[in-house]
Structure 1
């Protein structure tokens, strides 16, 4: 990612999406790596770092960060648009800081003194931090102090929610991050990745984080979307105001710029219109944080309508209870309530059309009076209801 791209997307969000509730602009992974040019990481590349073992934006890609200004100028730009600014970080302390024994601000210890040899299996930038040492907590404190001074509002910390090589959540460092954010006095959202976060740690995540990934990276692939129904059913009861299970980004519109993973490359989403309706419905019923993963200035009318649908956004914001209530090999049914509405969604997860009968409508709890949101017509306007493969019938009453 580059500074001009961040500004271009922030400008678009401010002008076209802010009024619908979209407000965070987040700089994704490896903003500190001068040679980063795709989603393939360069192992052991030199990183931009200050004297206290803290990574800084690469000034070649982020010119306003020159002379030690960090992300403050860019955050100021985003804030002036009425938006909030976020960054992606990796758990731990830079390997190069450990190898160079660089200082930890406010302590006599060095990076080597506080490092732990627990690493990320897919990115070589960091070692873990021994937060049982006061200086380990002090490192995270100094890091969050720096981000607060830049005006950061959102922190996505990666390689922390679930580790495939250490079998679970790095709980000690999650707790250290929570304490470090709190001691700054600045309100910063804490998002944890990657998933799938262990369901058994749900109460822990509720105490320490604002959102946590319940899946590995999500791309425009029906198999991944189909699998999300399983994860959403497990996690739906755990979401509450201020703490949200995260289904990951919405791969809509123009995606994959400089990407070489996922289904592959710079492209328009491979989800069909039906699958896009299904994804938006499930995310909003689940009350997942909504994170647009595409290039905003390239939005077409269809994608804009998905992102600004008032009924969907009201669901995501106002639902107070939700759950999967029925499942077979062809359909999955969710029900939800808000202070003013009842919702029922019937998803066709099969690869062939299905037709809902009057008996099924009764069994699934579909209200006699209601509106089919995607069709824009009364829910009982037909005796039977056809549903195409991977599509959804969403009723509001």
Structure 2
């Protein structure tokens, strides 16, 4: 298969995600239970501490239409065929925020007041949605906005079901009214001033007709919206379709704070090497650093189980690979060590501006990736120690096409290391990393 490496025409037209999106998502620290005041607290923290460094998206993750006090989030049929618990839904079969968790949504206001608050801080607002149409809309035969007599049961594919969330049916995009339903929900999100949607259950298996349907609906909603597909592993042979339709897509299933998951992500990164670019980014999932699982979804409440060196490897790979940087920890509980990781502008520049990230080599004990500094002969280089003990990791300048004396700068430490001619070697702690900038001296 021949991949199209140019910038997505649609991304250029919309001017969306021309660099990897940076932000925060509620899932890793609150699961399905996040409340409006907690979203605002994270937005406040971002505005005060992170916005100046490029962080901007605040994303409410899944089940925001569900009253979490109801216990089991998975719907059950009652004797009359209806569903319990009932999700908040409007007359057109479109889910709306639960007003217990999001009280500003009362009186049909939806997420507009919360989006207004986030925008007032100079940030952008996003939401998670599940692929398809609510099963309860199908049961209720909700009319589809923008059609003449078409109802939800006429466009649902009742054989298309999410394996782990039984709220939705897929859409049969060949049916009249299916595209109109997607148009109607994007019209609603645009009215709420949403800037980002993460659409779940799209990528594994890959739902090409629905992905293209969401793209069309976004393009027609008169608002610039980042389109993120989830979860993974997304099939790599769909790369060309993704680059034309999605702004970011998950390369793996949910990532958590275990070192083997980082090692596996290195492998996923190699598979997707060279396929990211302005408007379309392979996504390594949220950053598992800081306070996690305050109320689920995985394991007890904790600060990340990664060692400090593993946190640097985690951040360094997401940075050099140019994955979207979406924080998963509860920001107001950040300590100095988290803040230091998120506010190093020299490091962030590698993610936002480095071009053509590639793996230079990988052994059982070490790995090196590099990318290019725009409008320069300088090169960013990331060194990783994969071994279970401190280990020397080296880079040969000739392999990077560098000749003569080379100045080395340590970006995490924000200091110049020295001048070298043939190469550079650094002893790195167990599971640790270094991020460098190499500059040829005349």
Q: Aligned residue for 2:201?
A: 159
In 2, Cα distance between the equivalents of 1:43 and 1:328? 48
Matched ranges for 1:64-143 at <5 A: 64-107=104-147, 108-117=149-158, 118-143=160-185
Q: Aligned residue for 2:74?
A: 42
Q: Aligned residue for 1:391?
A: 432
After TM superposition, the runs of 4+ consecutive aligned structure 1 residues lying more than 6 A away are: none
Residues 64 and 73 of structure 1 are in contact (CA less than 8 Å); yes or no, is this contact kept in structure 2?
A: yes
Residues 390 and 430 of structure 2 are in contact (CA less than 8 Å); yes or no, is this contact kept in structure 1?
A: yes
Residues 372 and 379 of structure 1 are in contact (CA less than 8 Å); yes or no, is this contact kept in structure 2?
A: no
Scaled by the length of structure 2, the TM-score of the pair is 0.84
SS in 2 for 1:347: strand
Q: Deviations over 1:56-113 (max 9, x none)?
A: 0000110000111110111111111111110000000001111121111122111111
* Residue 217 (1) aligns with residue 249 (2): no
Task: Provide closer, same or farther for how the CA distance between residues 143 and 260 of structure 1 changes in structure 2, counting only shifts above 3 A.
Answer: closer
Residues 379 and 395 of structure 1 are in contact (CA less than 8 Å); yes or no, is this contact kept in structure 2?
A: no
Q: CA deviation at 1:364?
A: 6.2
Q: Aligned residue for 1:52?
A: 92
* Residue 323 (1) aligns with residue 366 (2): no
Task: Provide closer, same or farther for how the CA distance between residues 141 and 129 of structure 1 changes in structure 2, counting only shifts above 3 A.
Answer: same
* Residue 277 (1) aligns with residue 312 (2): yes
Q: Aligned residue for 1:378?
A: 417
Residues 13 and 22 of structure 1 are in contact (CA less than 8 Å); yes or no, is this contact kept in structure 2?
A: yes
SS in 2 for 1:236: coil
In 2, Cα distance between the equivalents of 1:291 and 1:283? 10
Structure 1 unmatched ranges of 5 or more: 164-168
Q: Aligned residue for 2:391?
A: 354
Q: CA deviation at 1:237?
A: 0.4
SS in 1 for 2:436: strand
In 2, Cα distance between the equivalents of 1:384 and 1:93? 55
In 2, Cα distance between the equivalents of 1:49 and 1:191? 23
Q: Aligned residue for 2:47?
A: 14
Task: Provide closer, same or farther for how the CA distance between residues 266 and 364 of structure 1 changes in structure 2, counting only shifts above 3 A.
Answer: farther
Q: Aligned residue for 2:233?
A: 196
- The equivalent position to 2:62 in structure 1, one of 14, 29, 43, is 29
Task: Provide closer, same or farther for how the CA distance between residues 273 and 363 of structure 1 changes in structure 2, counting only shifts above 3 A.
Answer: farther
Q: CA deviation at 1:21?
A: 0.7
In 1, Cα distance between the equivalents of 2:256 and 2:39? 21
Q: Aligned residue for 2:271?
A: 234
In 2, Cα distance between the equivalents of 1:374 and 1:21? 17
Q: Deviations over 1:275-312 (max 9, x none)?
A: 11111111111111110101111111111110111111
Q: Aligned residue for 1:166?
A: none
Query: Quick check: which one's strand share is greater?
Result: 2
Number of residue pairs matched?
387
Residues 36 and 42 of structure 1 are in contact (CA less than 8 Å); yes or no, is this contact kept in structure 2?
A: no
SS in 2 for 1:105: coil
Matched ranges for 1:296-375 at <5 A: 296-339=331-374, 340=376, 341-356=378-393, 361=396, 365=400, 368-375=406-413
Task: Provide closer, same or farther for how the CA distance between residues 277 and 380 of structure 1 changes in structure 2, counting only shifts above 3 A.
Answer: farther
SS in 1 for 2:326: coil
Q: CA deviation at 1:159?
A: 0.3
SS in 1 for 2:282: strand
Q: CA deviation at 1:321?
A: 1.4
Which structure is higher in RCO with an 8 Å CA cutoff and minimum separation 6? Answer: 2
Residues 30 and 36 of structure 1 are in contact (CA less than 8 Å); yes or no, is this contact kept in structure 2?
A: no
In 2, Cα distance between the equivalents of 1:394 and 1:65? 44
Q: CA deviation at 1:185?
A: 1.4
SS in 2 for 1:116: strand
Residues 99 and 106 of structure 2 are in contact (CA less than 8 Å); yes or no, is this contact kept in structure 1?
A: yes
Task: Provide closer, same or farther for how the CA distance between residues 260 and 141 of structure 1 changes in structure 2, counting only shifts above 3 A.
Answer: closer
Residues 245 and 288 of structure 1 are in contact (CA less than 8 Å); yes or no, is this contact kept in structure 2?
A: yes
Q: Deviations over 1:205-254 (max 9, x none)?
A: 00001000111111111010010111111112011111111111101111
Residues 103 and 109 of structure 1 are in contact (CA less than 8 Å); yes or no, is this contact kept in structure 2?
A: yes
Residues 156 and 170 of structure 2 are in contact (CA less than 8 Å); yes or no, is this contact kept in structure 1?
A: yes
CA-atom RMSD in angstroms: 1.9
Q: Aligned residue for 2:222?
A: 185
Scaled by the length of structure 1, the TM-score of the pair is 0.93
Task: Provide closer, same or farther for how the CA distance between residues 133 and 383 of structure 1 changes in structure 2, counting only shifts above 3 A.
Answer: closer
